[in-house]
Amino acid sequence: MKLWQKGTKLDPRVERYTVGCDPELDLALIPYDCAASIAHVKMLNAVGILGAGEARSLVAELGRIVELAKNGRFRIKPSDEDGHTAIENHLVRKLGAAGKKVHTARSRNDQVLTALRLYSRDQLDETRRASAGLIRRLNGLRRKHRDVIFPGYTHSRKAMPYTVGRYFGAFADSLRDDLALVRAAAEINDQNPLGTAAGYGTTVAIDRELTTRLLGFRRMQKSELYAQNSRGKFESIILSALSQIMLDLQRLAHDLVLYSMEEFGYLRLPEAFCTGSSIMPQKKNPDVLELVRANFGAVHACYLQTVEILKGLPSGYHRDLQLTKEPLMRGFCSTLATVRIMDLVLSGIVVDAEKCRNACTDEIFAADRAFELVKQGVPFRDAYRRVSRKY
């Protein structure tokens, strides 16, 4: 049963269209939704809306829902509309009047915001941890291959000598800067919207400082309307940070596919990371790296979807915002999987130092030769012109 249902029944086709895949997505949010509800219940008790006994039994039952969800035994029926409703219906079924009180002074609007913030906080932490691991891996390769020279390219043409170690180091440094963006997104995400209700507060005297403390938020999001207006916006901020990580990784993947072509031979992927062809018996394909590249497109599209949905919406909650939930979750999922798989791929990558060295053909030292002339006092542009005559 829906929370707002009265006489009229919602047309089943409208119900199907509006509910969409929300119940499925909400399953991942159940633990966060319950955690937020537990804080809300404790606060309602502190301000005298719930009795101590009611609060205790609600907290206990919310804990049980988390357990059920973990074991795949908590169901969100389409007729429930969403996870919030399924939770309230469960509490009413089990606890009667206490269950009917749990939604006092909150709306599903701030309830889902809170659950998403807690979920995003966890996922952002996870992203930072996984990325830090990848940075360590890259720094390991930086040290390991510090003396392996190979050609640096500009315009896809051999340019000047570089080292494989420094090549990998460039990505470590780039990801480190990306983490500054992830951190900025995490700080913006880390504010408590619980108690802003539908975006306009309530007349019930609640204690938002208490829920802020209980949920471990760094600060309270005071403006009720801003809380609502940040739905989708925070998602886009997060996805834009994730896109930067993915932008780096697609470049790294692109390079690795190229450098491991037999025409270059600088690198090799272990066979256990390669897939074959259904028609060509000889093929060993770097599918894993190709999917890293493609997943950038997927995560970037998640960002674009959230922004596109926000464009043109007036202030306040709109159901449009529901469709920012799926891209957020998909974006986290693809990014995390990609960061981890790149770590794995790099753990197995083999550098062919000899091929690297042999590829450093004469012409890539042309600039160095000009610098030699400079050291003998020739102005750089003249030195350049003199050397360039050979090419």
357 binds a copy of itself (CB under 8 A): no
Residue 193 Cβ, how far from a copy of itself at the closest point, in Å? 12
11 binds a copy of itself (CB under 8 A): yes
User: If you write DSSP's letter for every residue of 239-300 in order, what string do you get?
Assistant: HHHHHHHHHHHHHHHHHHHHHTSTTT-SEE--GGG-B--SS-TT--B-HHHHHHHHHHHHHH
Helix or strand or coil: residue 91? helix
Whether 300 is catalytic is no
Q: Which of 84, 155, 254, 318 is catalytic?
A: 155
Residue 133 Cβ, how far from a copy of itself at the closest point, in Å? 14
Q: How many residues are recorded in the chain?
A: 391
1 binds a copy of itself (CB under 8 A): no
Residue 180 phi, psi dihedral angles, 5° rounding: -65, -35
**What distance lies between CA 284 and its chain's CA centroid?**
31
Of 67 and 190, the one with the shorter C-beta distance to a copy of itself is 190
Q: Work out which of 121, 128, 213, 251 binds a copy of itself, going by CB under 8 A.
A: 251
Q: What residues have CB less than 8 Å from 154, skipping those under 6 apart?
A: none
The backbone region for 313, taken as left when phi is positive above 0, alpha when psi lies in -120 to 50, beta otherwise, is beta
Of 67 and 294, the one with the shorter C-beta distance to a copy of itself is 294
Q: Work out which of 144, 277, 350, 354 binds a copy of itself, going by CB under 8 A.
A: 277
Q: What residues have CB less than 8 Å from 88, skipping those under 6 apart?
A: 3, 99, 102, 103
Binding mask 50-89 for a copy of itself (x = CB under 8 A): ----------------------------------xx--x-
Site for a copy of itself in 281-300 (CB under 8 A): 281-288, 290-291, 293-298, 300
Smallest CA-to-CA distance from 27 within 79, 113, 86 is with 86
Site for a copy of itself in 297-336 (CB under 8 A): 297-298, 300-302, 304-323, 327
- Say if CB 241 and CB 224 are below 8 A apart: no
Whether 84 is catalytic is no
Q: Which of 79, 120, 277, 300 is catalytic?
A: 277
Site for a copy of itself in 190-249 (CB under 8 A): 197-204, 221-226, 228-230, 233, 236-237, 240, 243-244, 247-248
First-residue to last-residue Cα distance in the chain: 79
Residue 31 Cβ, how far from a copy of itself at the closest point, in Å? 20
Which residues are part of the catalytic machinery? 155, 277
